[in-house]
Each structure stands twice: as structure tokens, then as C-alpha cells.
Chain A
Amino acid sequence: MTQMLTSEIDIRDAFFDEVYNIGEKDKDVVFLTDDMDAFSLRRFRRDFPNQFINIGVAEQNMINVAAGLAACGKRVFTYGIASFVTMRCFEQIKVNLASMNLPVTIIGVGPGFSFEFDGPTHHGTQDVAIMRAIPEITIYNLSDISLAARAAHLAYRSNRPVYVRLDKGKFPILSDENESFSDGFRVLKPLEEVNIVSTGFMTPQALMVAAELEKRSAQVGVVDLYRLKPIDEAFFHKVLEPSAEIVTLEESSFAGGMGSIICEILADKGSDVRVRRFAIQDRQFISYGSRGWFHAQNGLDVDSIVDALTRRS
């Protein structure tokens, strides 16, 4: 397996640089934030002041205003911390965006434990579970800069509301420019009997798990499920159905995250593919530590996953 190349670019920059390009070309693009900053956004704010509004710490109003703008033809992006921009204004998203099919993009930064020392209020652990309960939403979980750059355009062109989970930092690059990003998933390591389906931050982790297992002569495939909703039939037929076992890796709660989605698909298909889920325990962590420390607490670090998988087989 080829060595992963770590990006020189922060994943936020990869995303926001494309938003800049989009906003430069389309004067109907409006960017709203709930007073959340990002280095690469400052350029947008500076160069397109009429297209950038700090709504202030008022997420409900941010979505309401976004809805009004979108209803009048504006292409709106909203941005803030993942836990706040989904939960604080959940009803607004459900009714004012989704039920009226207004194509606003909600960008939530800080999935999982990426806000390490800020406590459960900042942990993006339940956002997947609640957002996927909205029928009309599309959800992208950004795992590398190639996807991030493309996701900006996919969101911009969407005719339904989109939720983008945006991480912080520099991550391995997982695809080249030939990837179309139209399927909602990408096979990063060829499929075997046992396949890991991972998402977001856990995808590079999954590749490390696979590499470690390979050293122990156990082959596993790795699939990055980057579009958590909607999921095409093709995902079941190409990835799940041919597998004997699926291992899910996510930095979201056991309660309702990506692993739950996989279980639901398999149950509905009457499939007997086995599922092994790795996720965040169903509790709020009033603890403080680095992301790696949190992962160790949850058995989500590479060594723990490898141990768990080897013990089983």
C-alpha cells in the first residue's frame, strides 16, 4: 500500500479557498457566520464585504436569515462550530431550510473531539445522528483536502440543504484529481472479506489499521463513506453485500451515527453481513485532553482497534 502523503494545507483552507473562488464568481453567494472565525475566511471577508455577514452568537437567527436570503435567490453558506450550528438551530434547519427545500449549506467545524479542551458542548458527537433525521438533508463528512475542495462545489450546486462536517488540521491526501466524488463513497484499499467502512477523521486511521493488519497477514479493505446521506443503492451492492464482515469506524456516538446507518441498511436488506462498530461511547465527556487521548478512552486509537480486531479473529 502506498504511503499516505500528508497535505501541506489545512483542510479548512482547502474548503474555504474554493468558497472564495465560488463567491468571487457569483455575487449572489452570501456567507454567514455565528462569530466563528477561520484564517482562510478572512480573505473572503476582506475582499467581498458585501457577501459576508457576522450574524453574531445567534444560530437560530443565522438559519432564519439564511432561509430568507435563499428564498430570494441567494446562495448561502452558514458556518460555525458543528455542535452549535446543528443543535442550537435544529428546528430552523428542519423547517425553514429542509421542509421548503432551500439550498443553504451549513458548515460545521469541529467534528468528534477536534475541539479538545472545550468540553462536551464543543464535541461534534451527536450532530450526525440528529442531522440525518432530517429527510431532505445531504451530509458530507470531509476526510481530506481533495474531498474538501470538491465538496465546496457540490454544496454550492446542490438544490437541497447540505451539512458539511469540516475538520481542523492537515491530513493525508486520499484521492487525486481523477476522483469524481459522485458516488458518496470511495474504495481506498481493495475490498476483501472483511472491510472497514470509515468516515471523516477515522478514514486515515482506518488505512493505518489496515496497514498494521497487513503486517499480521490479515487483509482488510477500506472504504471512505464521505456522504452519510443520501446513500446510494450502489453502496450496498458494491461494498456491503459482497462482504462477510463490515467494521465501522467513526468519531461519532454509537447512538445513531454512521455505524447505525450501516446496520439499518443491512437489516432492511435482510442481509446477514456481520457488523462490528467502533464509535464514541454514548455519554457526554466532561473531560479534557488531546484528541488522541479521547480516542484512547474510546478504543478508537489505531492500536486498540487492531487489538480488538485481531483478538476477535
Chain B
Amino acid sequence: MGIKELEGKALWVRQMVLEATAASRRGHLGGTFSCTDLLVAMYYGSGMKFDPANPRWPDRDRLLVGKGHACLALYAIFLDLDMISRERYDEYGKDGGSLGAQLDVSIPGVEYNTGSLGHVLGVAAGMALAAKLDSRSFRAYALLGDAELYEGSIWEAIIFAGEHGLDKLVGIIDRNRLSVTDVLDDEGLFKNLGAKVRAFDWDYYEIDGHSFPEILGVFKEVRNARKPVMITANTVKGKGISFMEHGIKWHHEVPNESELELARKELGILGQ
């Protein structure tokens, strides 16, 4: 898929995410919009080796989503790729429905039961280790929130992967610079993050997480990795809707009537 088509697909995903959030009155728009382009690149831009018709193909690349609250983007993508039915998609937010506010392994394409931050990098490291032990070709990708890096278990995984040269492991940080209650500037944890990660024997890249050429470029680089790779994708929380961008409240706020109308206009959704 070319850049224009990827951008079109990303716009469509944002539309779906907005509508599902509005319909169910629940969602994490800010953090979903910040990683939408990354997810579209993974699934449609050959970011990952993946066959939607065969989601349990043993040599598939695995994507583990740490920030599972971005699930609405995944549901839209899975629907589009025929991995889940429209019927299942519509269960989101309903009593007894099989799609919730976090991902679970009953959903084709989902590798991990999300909801608790800080685990996926270690689990992905275990998968990358399995690949290394058996000389298999699959990679394990872990999509992390930047606030998620505060979890110590992330750093246990970083240490471990570096020490064991897990070159099939890729961490992607959705660096949208906002947690639920705070702004995450380049201080403390994030100060010289690249140097810190490299010191643990990882390769480190920094990209614009909303530029498809940059995203696709780094995913291609990753294929030549000799070490585990950490990618900081600089993103904007709420990307795609002007009044949501950089907005801390849009972590899990649901738009009201007039906000929804504005949002739809911006995303090119024709009036309801």
C-alpha cells in the first residue's frame, strides 16, 4: 500500500474509533489516535509479517500491545481485514459483549491480554527468545505507552533482551508526551532515553510517529537488526482532531454533541 492509501486507511480507522467511542460512550481517544498511524503501518504497510487469513500462522510476527486501551483502532483494523465479523465488532461496549476496553487472546490477531502496563516487553522478549532458540524468523513487537516506561518490569525486559542479544525484539514507544494526569517532558525518565537504552545494548531510533515514510523506513531498518531495537515514535495524543491534540483530558473523555459534530467534520464524516 502506498503512502496516500495508508493515510486514507488511517483516516478511516480514526473515523471508526470516533464513532465507536461516541456510540458506546466509552473509549480512550487520545491514546488511540496517537498510535493509529503506527498500527496502520504495521498491518497495511508491511510493518509486520502477518497473514490476516491465518492469524495463528506459527511464523507470523507478533504484535503485543501494552497500551491495550487503544483497542478500538485494533478492532477497526481486524474488522477491515475480516479477522472479526461485523457482528462481533458491534458488541463493543455491550453487556456480555466479546469486545471490551482491553484486548484479549480470544480475538484473532491478539497475542496478549492487555490491561496491566509493563508486562508486554518481557513477554515479547520471551517470544523473541523462543525465535532465537529455534532459529526461527518471526519477530516480536511490543507497542508501549511512554507513561508505561515507569514500570520496572519494562527495564527488567530491556536488561534481559540486551544481555541475550534478542535481535528479534522490537519495542515501539508511542511517545505522546502525556500520561493520564501529567505532561511527560524530556526530563527524568525521558532524559537521554536513547543513550540509556543503547547502554543496555539495544539499537535505538527516533521517528515522527505520524509520518508514514519515517515509520515504514524504520520498520525496514529493523529487519537488519543485530540487537533488540527500541523505537521512540514521537506522536501527538489525540492526533487527527484539532481540539483533542495535546489534550490531557482526552485520555478517556467522550465528546459531547457539539464536540462530536466538530470532530466528525474534521475527519470528513458526513453529517448524521
Contact surface of A with B, Cβ cutoff 8 Å? 30, 50, 53, 55-56, 58, 60-61, 63-74, 91-92, 95-96, 99-100
Please tell me if the beta carbons of A91 and B116 are within 8 angstroms of each other in the complex.
yes
Contact surface of B with A, Cβ cutoff 8 Å? 58, 104-105, 111-113, 115-116, 119, 121-131, 133, 140, 152-153, 156-157, 159-160, 164
Most chain A C-beta atoms within 10 Å of own C-beta, residue among B104, B111, B121, B130: B130
**A64 touching B113 in the complex, CB below 8 Å, given contacts A69-B130, A72-B130, A92-B119:** no
**For residue A100, which residues in chain B have a CB less than 8 angstroms away from its CB?**
105, 112-113
Please tell me if the beta carbons of A30 and B133 are within 8 angstroms of each other in the complex.
yes
A95 to B113, CA, bound (A): 7
**For residue A96, which residues in chain B have a CB less than 8 angstroms away from its CB?**
112-113, 119, 123
Most chain B C-beta atoms within 10 Å of own C-beta, residue among A50, A61, A70, A100: A61
**For residue B157, which residues in chain A have a CB less than 8 angstroms away from its CB?**
61, 64-65
**For residue B111, which residues in chain A have a CB less than 8 angstroms away from its CB?**
71
21 A-B pairs within 8 Å (CB atoms) are namely: A50-B133, A53-B164, A60-B153, A61-B157, A61-B159, A64-B125, A64-B126, A65-B157, A65-B160, A67-B122, A68-B124, A68-B130, A69-B127, A69-B129, A71-B127, A72-B126, A73-B58, A74-B133, A91-B116, A95-B116, A100-B105
Please tell me if the beta carbons of B116 and A65 are within 8 angstroms of each other in the complex.
no
Most chain A C-beta atoms within 10 Å of own C-beta, residue among B104, B126, B164: B126
A246 to B256, CA, bound (A): 62
Nearest chain B residue, comparing its CB with the CB of A59: B156
Nearest chain A residue, comparing its CB with the CB of B128: A68
Most chain A C-beta atoms within 10 Å of own C-beta, residue among B111, B122, B156: B122
Most chain A C-beta atoms within 10 Å of own C-beta, residue among B112, B159, B164: B112
**For residue A69, which residues in chain B have a CB less than 8 angstroms away from its CB?**
126-127, 129-130
A50 to B134, CA, bound (A): 10
Q: State the Cβ distance, A39 to closest chain B Cβ, in Å.
A: 26
Please tell me if the beta carbons of B113 and A61 are within 8 angstroms of each other in the complex.
no
Nearest chain B residue, comparing its CB with the CB of A89: B153
**For residue A58, which residues in chain B have a CB less than 8 angstroms away from its CB?**
156, 159-160
A71 to B128, CA, bound (A): 11
Please tell me if the beta carbons of A64 and B153 are within 8 angstroms of each other in the complex.
yes
A99 to B125, CA, bound (A): 19
Please tell me if the beta carbons of B122 and A64 are within 8 angstroms of each other in the complex.
yes
**For residue A70, which residues in chain B have a CB less than 8 angstroms away from its CB?**
126
Most chain A C-beta atoms within 10 Å of own C-beta, residue among B104, B129, B152: B129
A100 to B123, CA, bound (A): 12
**For residue B119, which residues in chain A have a CB less than 8 angstroms away from its CB?**
60, 64, 92, 95-96
**For residue B112, which residues in chain A have a CB less than 8 angstroms away from its CB?**
96, 100
Please tell me if the beta carbons of A64 and B123 are within 8 angstroms of each other in the complex.
yes
